[in-house]
Amino acid sequence: MAVDRDTRPEDLNQLRRQRHEAAHKKRRIIFNNDGCDLTHYCKEATPDALLSLRTTPLKGTQVDSIFYSTGGSFGRFKHDSELGDVFSCKAEGFANNKTQDFIDQGTDALRIMVEFCHQSRIECFWTMRMNDIHDSYKAWYAPYIFPQVKKDHPEWLMGSREKPPTQGRMWSAVDYGLQEVRDLALAFHQEICENYDVDGIELDFFRQLTYFKRPAMGQDADQDDRDSMTDLIQRLRAMSERVGLKRGRPILIAVRIPDSVGYCEAIGLDVTRWLKNDLIDLIVASGDFRLNPWETTVKLGKQHGVPVYACLSSAAMRDAEARKVRASLPGWRGRAAQAWNSGASGMCVFNFFNPKSRLWNEIGDPDILARLDKVYCSSARGVKQVSRFLADGERFLGRSVVSPDDPRTLNPSQSVTIDLAVGEHLAGHVEPKPGITLALHIRPLADARHVTVKLNGEPLADGALSGVWCEFAVSPSRIEIGMNRVEVAVTGNVATPPLLHDMALWVRYPRRP
């Protein structure tokens, strides 16, 4: 990623033009790093030791941006902060924490990361998890990461461990309805912008999706809530422009948000207003769940000239077989191909940190992906989390999904329909043709002859059982680029209707000699 430091903006209008240009630079892959390389795995307090864990091997790959997190719990930091707690703890699982070691050397992890990225022509953002609540868990680490500001101001929290809020029980989340909380959030970002040469800041609203008392208590946010958050975003934009003019280079603002305007509004995020008022530069869409086809958010971004990046989070299915399918390299490729076909500007990979994986040289280029094996699923992470943070959150679900976390009942002679997105043109004149298999996980199922399947209105034949899967061979000519309608039904008399637990479309290309 080329970083232009030669042309200082003469005024705010020029800064804004430079910011718009920077927002639309090529970002094939954004690598989101949660900063645990510093606190859990760094054996020596040297830049090389830290960077070797997750960063150095990314040089020369399709990774054009690194979003680095040095915060957590709203007030606990792994950079040299004067506003919050510097996380120097070395107890238990934090024995390798090198935060204070680097600060004692006159540097810190964020400064090391920014310097490496710019030397390597990679963009670097600081990402803040806007309401991280890992300190509310009943895990060994929770007491160590609970920041002083929450101890000093329990009235800023959504509740207590003894009296948590009713929705999601995110008691340690701070209430953004309070001016003091918003002021501090602004100050946290200003400290970064004034002291580090970051290319931008990301407001990670997916960590976690509790920001106001009303949603925390089972109601939708109201306009006052949305106005309060918009006020913060406006002030962040103004701050970023002041600091950008002073340093002679724009500071971009990215947001990671749910991929539904309605869901965002119901938790207090007025995303459409932010876009209309030019308050944000990049959208990173989805996270723990995805509500709509990728095209929905891509269209929203294009309406306002804002690039949209598909957030591909690590697979988190409880079912081992489903998790294995989605966590496979073909699984990552299939998800990326779906997103590229929607018009996304790039991929953002979240909670996957192996810097030597092949995916960093594959998923950032749809042309490279085109001839690689893939598996397409309707859902990578399920949708159960949707209503964890918002009462009846599934009302905003705008696509059909099936997974072991979200199975569908197959009543006799009544079909279940799933729309499955495919991100490549398989019906064309590509040679050699790939082998394609539609695999269904139906339980209980003793005989594949009891399953009938239609693909885009035409029946599939000769299903066969293979382990937990009922498999059907599919001709490439039957697959459409984009959405494909799969209808599944069972025949015969059954005492208990079986469940469709999962669906996967495998695309396997012949091995080259």
Question: How many other CB atoms are found less than 10 A from the CB of residue 333?
Answer: 25
pLDDT of residue 429: 60
DSSP 419: E
Dihedral over Cα of 417, 419, 425, 430: its sign: negative
Q: What is the pTM of this model?
A: 0.97
* Cβ atoms of 497 and 488 closer than 8 Å: no
**What amino acid occupies position 210?**
T
* Closest by CA position to 494, among listed 402, 398, 403, 413: 413
471 membership: H or E segment, kind and range: strand 469-474
CATH code where residue 289 lies: 3.20.20.330
330 and 458: one domain? no
Is the domain of 412 the same as that of 350? Answer: no
Whether residues 417 and 343 share a domain: the answer is: no
Secondary structure (H, E, C), 40-59: HHCCCCCHHHHHHHHCHHHC
Please report whether residue 385 resides in a domain.
Answer: no
DSSP notation for 301-331: HHHTT--EEEEEEPP--SSHHHHHHHHSHHH
Domain assignment present for 1:
no
Query: Model confidence over 477-496: pLDDT tens digits?
Result: 999 999 999 999 998 877 78
pLDDT at res. 347: 99
For residues 339 and 464, state if they share a domain.
Answer: no
CA nearest neighbour of 130 among 206, 192, 221:
206
- The residue with tokens 């609203």 is 205
In this structure, the answer to whether residues 149 and 271 fall within a common structural domain is yes
* 256-310 confidence digits (pLDDT tens): 999 999 999 999 999 999 999 999 999 999 999 999 999 999 999 999 999 999 9
| Residue 296 in tokens | 């929905």
Tell me, yes or no, whether 116 and 204 share the same domain: yes
| Residue 61 φ then ψ, to 5° | -90, -170
**Cα 76 from Cα 299, distance rounded (Å):** 37
Are 340 and 27 in contact by the 8 Å Cβ rule? The answer is no
Pairing type for strands 482-490 and 451-455 reads antiparallel
322 and 466 both lie in a single domain: no
Is the residue at 16 inside a domain? yes
Residue indicated by tokens 């809530």: 225
Provide the 8-state DSSP code for 39.
I
What's the start-to-end Cα distance of the chain, in Å? 35
**Looking at the 3D structure of the chain, how many domains does it have?**
2
379: in domain:
no
| Structure confidence at residue 2 (pLDDT) | 43
Shared-domain flag, residues 183 and 268: yes
pLDDT on residue 304: 99
Q: What is the pLDDT of residue 7?
A: 86
241 and 349 belong to one structural domain: yes
Q: Which of 314, 329, 341, 339 is nearest to 375 (CA)?
A: 329
**Angle (CA) 471 474 480, round 5°:** 125
The number of helix segments (H) and strand segments (E) in the chain equals 16, 21
Last residue of a domain, one of 373, 391, 419: 373
d(CA 30, CA 351): 12
What is the per-residue pLDDT for 512?
72
Tokens, residue 370: 């085109």
Strand partners, 375: 506
Which pLDDT belongs to residue 49? Answer: 99
Collect the ranges in the chain with pLDDT lower than 50.
Answer: 1-3
- Assess whether 137 and 282 both reside in one domain: yes
For residue 389, is it within any domain?
A: no
Same domain flag for 417 and 358 = no
Whether residue 140 is found in the same domain as residue 268: yes
Q: Which two tokens stand for residue 57?
A: 């091997």
Domain assignment present for 383: no
User: Pairing mode, if any, of strands 71-72 and 76-77?
Assistant: antiparallel
Q: Which domain range does residue 469 map to?
A: 407-508
Q: What is the CATH number of the domain that holds 441?
A: 2.60.120.1200
For CA atoms 450, 455, 459, 462, give the dihedral sign.
Answer: negative
For residue 321, tell me if it sits in a domain.
yes
Residue 122, domain member (yes or no): yes
CA of 392: how far to CAs of 87, 114, 207, 396, in Å?
A: 37, 41, 19, 8
Q: How many CB atoms lie within 10 A of CB 24?
A: 14
